[in-house]
Amino acid sequence: MTSRRAFLKSSGVALFSLGFTAIPEFVAKAALATYNQTTRKKVLVCVFQRGAMDGLMAVSPFTDSNFTNARNRLRMSVGGENGLIDLDGRFAFHPAFKPFKPLYDSKQLAIVHGIGSPDTTRSHFDAQDFMENGTPGKKSDTGWLNRATSKLKGTASPFQSVAFTSALPLSMVGPATTLAVDDLRNFNVKVPGATSLMQSSTAESFESLYEQTSQELLRNNGKESFEAVRMLQSLNAQNYRPAAQYPQSPLANHLKQVAFLIKNSVGLEIAFVESTGWDTHVQQGTVNGQFSRVAADLSQSIAAFWNDIEQHHDDVAVLTMTEFGRTVKENGSGGTDHGRGSCMFVLGNAIAGGKVYGNVPQLAPENLADGRDLPVTTDFRALFTDVAASHLRINNAASLFPSWSGSPTNVFK
Amino acid sequence: MKFSFLFVVVLTTLFLQAQPISTGKITMPWREAGLTDRQAAAHLLDRFTYGARPKDIDKVVAMGLENWFEEQLQANSNDAIVKSKIAGYKTLNMTTREIAEVYPTPGKVIIELMQQGKLKDLGDLKDSSNKEFRKTALKYAYENGYRPQRELLGQMIANKIIRAVYSENQIKEVMTDFWFNHFSVSMVKGQARTFIPTYERDAIRPNVLGNFRTLLEATAKHPAMLQYLDNAQSTAPVGTPTLLSIALDSINNMGGIKGWFARRKVNAAMERGEQMKEEFFKNTPEEFKPRRGINENYARELMELHTLGVNGGYTQKDVTEAARALTGWTMMPLGYNKRADKINDMIERGKKIGVVTEGDFLFRADVHDATEKNILGTTFKAGRGMNEGEQLLDMLTAHPSTAKRIALKLCTRFVSDEPPQALVTKVADVFTSTRGDIPSMLRTIVSSPEFWNKEARRAKIKKPFEVAMSTLRLADADVTPTKELYDWITRLGEQLYNAQAPTGFPDNAKAWVNTGSLLNRMNFGLAVATNSIKGVTTNVQELNRNTEPTTTEEALKSYLPILLPERDYTETVRMLTPVITSKEFGDKVRNQQPTRKQEMDMDDEILSEEELNSILQEKKSVDMPTKGAEKPQQQTLQNVVGIILGSPEFQRR
C-alpha cells in the first residue's frame, strides 16, 4: 500500500502546511478526488456493545421451554404490540429490535447466534481485550482492526480508520495509524477569540513542536492530528444534514458522523463506535427497563444510519460485537450474570441475511457451558475473518488472528 | 525439643509479622543519578503532586526533599484555601443517610410515586417528554424536600478539582485519585451514584496513606461499592441454609414449655416482619422487588481488580465460593426515615442471629449462606457469618499475587508505564513484610535508584485529569469549578467519576495519546491561557511577576521556566523562535482586532494563498513598523503561554 506520508506529499496535501486556514479549495478537492480514483472504498462499521449483551433476550429461542422456564421475571412471549417478534418460528427479536425487522426481511441483516470467545473468562475487561486483540486467552498490544488497517490496499487517508471515542479503543491500537475522535466539529486547533491567522500560526507552532519532540508517541500522533485537521477543514462538518432521523444518543451521534465521512468520500474504510449499558445484572426488564432502552438505542441508531447512507449500501457493512453473553437463568436481582455465547448482527447488501446462523442447542442444563451458559459454538474470529475477507477484501484474512486455524463463517452471499 | 521447635516457629512468625513499619529518615539517591537539587525536587513534585510550580521547587529544596516527602505522608498541612473554597458545598459534610434522604435516586422517586398511586404504569416513563408525569414528579420531589442529584455530584466534582489545584497535602490528593481509581466505583451505575461522595470521603480518603487491608475493608463495606458491584443484592438462594433458618430450626427442635414460648415469640416476630415487607412493597412492580440469589459480580472484581489480579491464581469456583461467603454483606436501608423505627427494631432483634451493623454497612445474617465454603484451598467452616468475609479479605491481602499487583500499580503510577521488575519486586516485598503499609511502599519507591534514573524522568505522559490540574496550577489560575471545566476534562478523555468499567481509568500513555486527544490537550492550554473557560481566570502578566517582555521571543524565554521549570527547553525555543519572531507572527498577532475579524475570515475563504500573501505584504508595509518595536500585547502573551501549556513537553511528567 502507498504509505500515507508518501501519498500526502505526492498529492499536494503537504502544501497545506504553508498555511492552516488558507487551504486552497482546489488542492483539497484534488486530494479528496485521489481517494475516489481508485476503486470505491469498502467501509466496515464496527459497533462494540460493551458490558455483554444478553443475546438470549435480543434473539430469543422462544420455543425452547428450557429457556422460558429459566426466566421468570424476564420471560416474554411472542406477538402483540409489545411481544417478541417472530423471525423463523424458533427465534424472535426482543421488541426493542423492531427497526431491525425490515432489514432482516430484506435479507440484508444476518444474525450469528451462540457466538463468542473460546476463552472462558467471564471478566468484561479480559473478554473485551481478547476480542479487540483478536487473540482469546492472550493479551497483546495490537488490535485486530489495527492489523486489518495495515493490510488495506490503496492510498491511505488520515480518516482511513476512525474510532468515535475519546480514547483509542484497543481494537484500533497498534502500529498502523488510526484516529480517535469524539466529535469531528472539535477537530482543530482553536485559540478562543483569535483571528483565523492567529489560529493558523498557533497551529503551526504546535505542529513544529510535536514534529520535533523526542517522545515518539507524541510525535507520531501529533503528525497524524495535523494531517487529519487539514483534510477535515475542506469539508463542512458543522452543517451536516443527515438524510434520516437519528435518535438522541452518543451512539446515534457517532454513527451520524460515520455517515458524514462516508458520504464525503474521505477515504474511510474502518469505523468503530461504542454502545454501552449492556451489563444488566440488576433489573434487566422486559418490554421496558435497561435492556430495552439500550437495545432500542442500538437498533434505532443503526437503522437510521443505514437509511442515511442509502446511496452507499453496496459499499458498507455493519458488524456488532459484544464480549460475551449472559446466564441462561436469571439471577436473584431480576438480571443476568456473565455468561458465554451471545449473538452478533451483520448488515450489508452482500450479506446472505434473513437468517439466524450458528448453532444454539436446546438449553437443557446438560447442553450448557458449565451447566449454566449458552455455549460458544461459533468462534468470533470465524465471523470477523469472513467480514475482513469478504467485505474488506483482505488477503489471507485469517492471519489477522494469530494461531487461529478455524474456518470462516459464510454469512456473505 | 518439640517445645523449642514451636518456640522458634512462634518467634519467627512474630518477627515476620512485627517487622517495624519504617518511618522517618529515608535517603533519596538523586545525586547518584546526576541530578541537581532543583531538578530532583522538580521530578519528585512532577510525580507526587498535580504540577511542580517554581515556588514549590523553591520550598522543597529549602526544606529538603526527604523532609518534604515525610511531611506530605503525614498529610496534615493546613489547607485554609481549600477550606474557604469548599465552604459553600454543604453536601460535603452530610452523612450517607442524610444524603440518601435529601438526594434520592430517580428510581426511588419512581417507586415512591408508584406506591402512592401517582404513577400507574412504568410504560409511562418511556415517553420522556411526558410533561404531565414530569410535573407530578417535580411537585412530589419539591414537597418532600428532595434535591436534584446533580447538585450533590457537582459538589463532589468541584471538591476534587479544588483539592487537586489548591491543597497543600498534594500526595494525599494524588493517592486519593489513585486508590479511588483502584477501587473504582462509577456514576455510570445509577444505584451507586448517591453514595460516591461519602465513599471517597469516608472509605477512600482517610486510608490512602494508611494500610491496604483497612482500605480494602472500608471499600467492601461502603454502600457505593456494595451497590456498584451488586453485592448488596447478593443473597443465599431460597433453600440454602442461612443463619436465620438454622436458628429457626433449633427453636423448632427445642422441647418443653420453653420451646413452646420461644416458638410463639419467634413466629409472631416473623409474621410482623412479613407484614412489614408486604406493606412496604405494596404497589411495587415485580421488577423492583428484591429476589433471593447469589450475585458474584463483587466477588469476581474483588479478586480480579482489587487484590489478586486476573492471573493471580483463582478459578471460577473460587469466585462463586467467595460470593457465597459474602452473601448478606449489604447496606443499611437508607432514605426510609418514616419507617426507621420499625427497621431498627427488626435489626436489633436480628443481632441475636448474627446481624451486624457498622455505620451504613449491614450484615444480614438472615440471607447469609451458612454452609461451608472452600476458597483458594482454604476451608471456611459453616455458619461463621460476617467473619467469613473478613477472613476472605485477610487471605486476599496476604496473598503474594496481591502484593505484586499493588506494587506494579504503584510503580506504574510513580515510575513508568513499564517499571523495572526489580523495583516492583522490592515494593511487593515491602507490601508483604508490612502487611500493606502504603507509606512504606512509597518510601521504597523514592529511595530506589530506579525512581531517579534517566529512563524514568519525564517518562510518564500525564493522564487527562493530571494535564488539566497541572495546567491550572502552573498557570496560577484562580479556579471556581464549573460544568464547563468538567466538560473540558471529559473532552480530554477522563470523565471524572464516570469510568466505564470497574477497572477504572488506565494509567499508561498508549491509552491516552491519540490524534484526537492531542488536539484537545493543545486547545485546553490555549483555552486556559486566554481565559476562555468559565470559572478559570489566569493573568499572564502576574504570572510573569509583571515583567513585561519587550518581544515575543523574550516572552517565550520568560514563560518557559515558569511553566516548564527545570526542564530542558532549548529544543522548544529553537522550534518556536522562528515562528513567533517572524514578521508574519507579529503581524498576525496585531491583525487580531475584532473589527478585522470579519475581513480576515473572508479573506481566507475567497483568496488563494498567493493573493493572500500579497495583501499581507501590503498591509505590513502600511500598518506595521519594524518587528518588535512595540511590546507584545496581552493576547500575544496569552498565546505564548497557551502554546507552552499545549506543548509536548508539558504533556510529560
The nearest CA of chain A is from the CA of B392 a distance in Å of 20
Residue in chain A nearest B585 by alpha carbon: A201
Per-residue pLDDT band at B127 (split at 50, 70, 90): very low
Per-residue pLDDT band at B490 (split at 50, 70, 90): confident
Could B519 and A288 be called an inter-chain contact, meaning their C-beta atoms sit closer than 8 Å?
no
Contact B134, B448 (CB under 8 A): no
Could A209 and B597 be called an inter-chain contact, meaning their C-beta atoms sit closer than 8 Å?
no
What mean pLDDT comes out for the span B535-549? Answer: 89
Instruction: Tell me the C-alpha distance between A269 and A267, whole Å.
Output: 6
B440 CB contacts (<8 Å, ≥6 apart)? B21, B22, B430, B434
CA distance to A37, A383, B323, B349, B360, per residue, from B369 (Å)? 69, 43, 10, 19, 21
Identify the three-state secondary structure at position B211. Answer: strand
State the pLDDT at residue B286: 58
**Structural domains of chain A ordered from first start:** 38-187+245-400 (3.40.720)
The nearest CA of chain A is from the CA of B292 a distance in Å of 5
Could A198 and B296 be called an inter-chain contact, meaning their C-beta atoms sit closer than 8 Å?
no
Between positions 90 and 129 of A, the ones with CB within 8 A of B are: 120-126
- Residue found by looking up cell 488558507 in the block: A22
State the pLDDT at residue B591: 43
Could B635 and A194 be called an inter-chain contact, meaning their C-beta atoms sit closer than 8 Å?
yes
Instruction: Tell me whether A30 touches chain B (CB under 8 Å).
Output: no
Instruction: Tell me the C-alpha distance between A142 and B381, whole Å.
Output: 46
Could A288 and B122 be called an inter-chain contact, meaning their C-beta atoms sit closer than 8 Å?
yes
Contacts of B588 in chain A (CB under 8 A): 195, 197-198, 200-201
Bigger pLDDT: A3 vs A105: A105
The nearest CA of chain A is from the CA of B80 a distance in Å of 33
State the pLDDT at residue A17: 39
The nearest CA of chain B is from the CA of A115 a distance in Å of 21
Residue B404 has pLDDT above 80, yes or no: yes
Bigger pLDDT: A282 vs A256: A256
Q: Computed from CA positions of residues A284, A288, A290, A294, in that sequence, does the dihedral angle turn out positive or negative?
A: positive
Instruction: Tell me the C-alpha distance between B370 and B80, whole Å.
Output: 51
Identify the three-state secondary structure at position B362. Answer: strand
What mean pLDDT comes out for the span A7-13? Answer: 41
Of A50-59, B284-293, B574-583, highest mean pLDDT: A50-59
Instruction: Tell me the C-alpha distance between B19 and B6, whole Å.
Output: 20
Question: Alpha carbon A275 to chain centroid distance?
Answer: 9
Residue B596 has pLDDT above 80, yes or no: no
Nearest to B604 among A196, A201, A212 (CB): A196
Which helix (H) or strand (E) segment holds residue B394: the answer is helix B386-398
The nearest CA of chain B is from the CA of A246 a distance in Å of 16
What residues does each domain of chain B span?
243-288, 548-651
Q: Tens digits of per-residue pLDDT, A178-199?
A: 888 888 987 889 888 877 777 8
Q: Which three cell numbers stand for residue B530?
A: 486566554
> Phi, psi at residue B35, to the nearest 5°?
-100, 150
Q: Which three cell numbers stand for residue B207?
A: 486510608
Contacts of A276 in chain B (CB under 8 A): 188, 500
Could B592 and A285 be called an inter-chain contact, meaning their C-beta atoms sit closer than 8 Å?
no
Nearest to A202 among B235, B300, B643 (CB): B643
> Phi, psi at residue A60, to the nearest 5°?
-85, 135
Q: Which three cell numbers stand for residue B322?
A: 467467595
Q: Which three cell numbers stand for residue B44?
A: 519528585
What mean pLDDT comes out for the span A32-51? Answer: 78
By C-alpha distance, which of B362, B368, B353, B367 is closest to B334? B362
By C-alpha distance, which of A49, A80, A42, A60 is closest to A323? A49
Instruction: Tell me the C-alpha distance between B465 and B495, whole Å.
Output: 9
Contact A145, A161 (CB under 8 A): yes
B10 CB contacts (<8 Å, ≥6 apart)? none
Nearest to B294 among A195, A206, A332 (CB): A332
State the pLDDT at residue B282: 75
Could B516 and A21 be called an inter-chain contact, meaning their C-beta atoms sit closer than 8 Å?
no
CA distance to A337, B70, B438, B456, per residue, from B23 (Å)? 46, 8, 11, 25
B50 CB contacts (<8 Å, ≥6 apart)? B164, B165, B170, B173, B174, B466, B469, B470, B473
Contacts of A332 in chain B (CB under 8 A): 233-235, 237, 290-295
Instruction: Tell me the C-alpha distance between A61 and A58, whole Å.
Output: 10
Residue B613: what residue type?
A: N
Nearest to B647 among A141, A181, A209 (CB): A209
Residue B181: what residue type?
A: N
Q: Tens digits of per-residue pLDDT, B4-52?
A: 444 444 444 444 444 445 555 799 999 999 999 999 999 999 999 999 9
Instruction: Tell me the C-alpha distance between A147 and A142, whole Å.
Output: 7
- Residue found by looking up cell 451504613 in the block: B360
Residue B111 has pLDDT above 80, yes or no: no
What mean pLDDT comes out for the span B492-498? Answer: 90
State the pLDDT at residue B2: 43
- Written as one string, the DSSP assignment of B565-630 is TT---HHHHHHHHHHHHSHHHHHHHHTT-HHHHHHHHHHHHH--HHHHHHHHHHHHHHH--STTSS
Q: Which residues pair with B380 in a beta bridge?
A: B373
Residue B590 has pLDDT above 80, yes or no: no
State the pLDDT at residue A257: 96
Residue in chain B nearest A292 by alpha carbon: B126
Residue A177 has pLDDT above 90, yes or no: no
Instruction: Kindly tell me the burial class for residue A150, based on how many C-beta atoms sit within 10 Å of its own C-beta (0-12, 13-18, 19 or more).
Output: middle
Residue B408: what residue type?
A: L
Of A12-16, A43-47, A79-83, B613-617, highest mean pLDDT: A43-47
Instruction: Tell me whether A80 touches chain B (CB under 8 Å).
Output: no
By C-alpha distance, which of B645, B485, B641, B498 is closest to B556? B641
Could A225 and B519 be called an inter-chain contact, meaning their C-beta atoms sit closer than 8 Å?
yes
- Written as one string, the DSSP assignment of A109-172 is EEEEEEEE-SS----HHHHHHHHHHT-TT---S--HHHHHHHH--SPPPTTSEEE-SSS--GGG
Could B500 and A331 be called an inter-chain contact, meaning their C-beta atoms sit closer than 8 Å?
no
State the pLDDT at residue B603: 29
CA distance to A273, B2, B112, B496, B593, per residue, from B106 (Å)? 29, 66, 10, 21, 50
Could A218 and B651 be called an inter-chain contact, meaning their C-beta atoms sit closer than 8 Å?
yes
Per-residue pLDDT band at B631 (split at 50, 70, 90): low
CA distance to B13, B280, B283, B340, per residue, from B277 (Å)? 50, 5, 12, 14
Helices (H) and strands (E) in chain B, counts: 36, 7
Could A215 and B517 be called an inter-chain contact, meaning their C-beta atoms sit closer than 8 Å?
no
Q: Say if the ipTM goes beyond 0.85.
A: no
Could A213 and B604 be called an inter-chain contact, meaning their C-beta atoms sit closer than 8 Å?
no
Helix, strand, coil share of chain B (percent; to 5): 60, 5, 35
Q: Tens digits of per-residue pLDDT, A205-248?
A: 999 999 989 899 999 889 888 888 887 877 878 788 999 999 99
Per-residue pLDDT band at A8 (split at 50, 70, 90): very low
B348 CB contacts (<8 Å, ≥6 apart)? none
Instruction: Tell me the C-alpha distance between B34 and B570, whole Å.
Output: 19
What mean pLDDT comes out for the span B425-449? Answer: 98
State the pLDDT at residue B121: 59
Q: Which residues pair with A93 in a beta bridge?
A: A59, A85
A/B interface, count of CB pairs below 8 Å? 227
Which helix (H) or strand (E) segment holds residue B361: the answer is strand B361-363
By C-alpha distance, which of A352, A280, A292, A342 is closest to A48? A342
Q: Which three cell numbers stand for residue A236?
A: 463542512
Nearest to A332 among B237, B502, B514 (CB): B237
Instruction: Tell me the C-alpha distance between B269 and B264, whole Å.
Output: 9
Contacts of B297 in chain A (CB under 8 A): 281, 337-338
Instruction: Tell me the C-alpha distance between B201 and B96, whole Å.
Output: 10
Which helix (H) or strand (E) segment holds residue B638: the answer is helix B634-645
Helix B106-115 and helix B131-143: axis angle, to 10°?
90
Q: CA dihedral defined by B19, B25, B26, B27, rounded to 10 degrees? A: -140
Residue in chain A nearest B636 by alpha carbon: A198
